[in-house]
Amino acid sequence: MNLKHFFAAATVALAVQTPPALAQDAAIEAMQEYMMFSEYEAGIILPQQIDQTVFETALFVDTRDAGQFEAGTIPGAINVEWREVLDRIDEIPEDRMTILFCNTGSLSAQAAFALRVAGRENVLLLQTGFIGWQADAAYKP
């Protein structure tokens, strides 16, 4: 192998390994930017803030599994399991307030964070989740 072939092989080897590293770096950078420039309470909504106007204009996304969704949910909610939000991002509108929830808010927080890092600024997390909505929502149809 001559020097020219060696450099060509080394360049190809580096190119094959670079994209995942760059993708990981880009993901970390996007998360850092989101975290550095977000307001403390950005991206959350409390059950007490869900009045009739919010209820009638927002899309509610239940991020629990299908069994929990079938057992009971916020009326009109759609079901997109928390692990699937990025795979099903086209179902999350960009032009409408979208409120994600699970039972308590822990799993939906991960989904909301992923969507917000992906650029969906209209996505909110329902603090205290479905349980909190049942107990404290300002409006329940």
Condensed to tens digits (0 to 9), the pLDDT of residues 107-126 reads 999 999 999 889 898 999 99
Residues 29 and 70 in one domain: no
CA-closest candidate to residue 64, choices 90, 98, 103, 116: 103
Structure tokens at 28: 């970390």
Q: What is the pLDDT of residue 14?
A: 42
Q: Which domain holds residue 22?
A: 1-37
Query: Residue 95: inside a domain, yes or no?
Result: yes
Looking at the structure, tell me whether residues 62 and 25 fall in a common domain.
no
Which tens digit of pLDDT belongs to each residue from 1-48? Answer: 444 443 334 343 444 444 555 656 765 665 556 454 545 455 899 999
The verdict on residue 65 lying in a domain is yes
Same domain, 77 and 131: yes
- pLDDT (tens digit per residue) in 46-102: 999 999 999 999 999 999 999 999 999 999 999 999 999 999 999 999 999 999 999
Q: Of the listed 85, 102, 107, 126, which one is catalytic?
A: 102
Is residue 9 in some structural domain?
A: yes
* Number of structural domains in the chain: 2
Same domain, 127 and 85: yes
- What CATH number is given to the structural domain containing 121? 3.40.250.10
Is 122 in the same domain as 56?
yes
pLDDT confidence of residue 5? 41
pLDDT at 117: 87
102 as an active site residue: the answer is yes
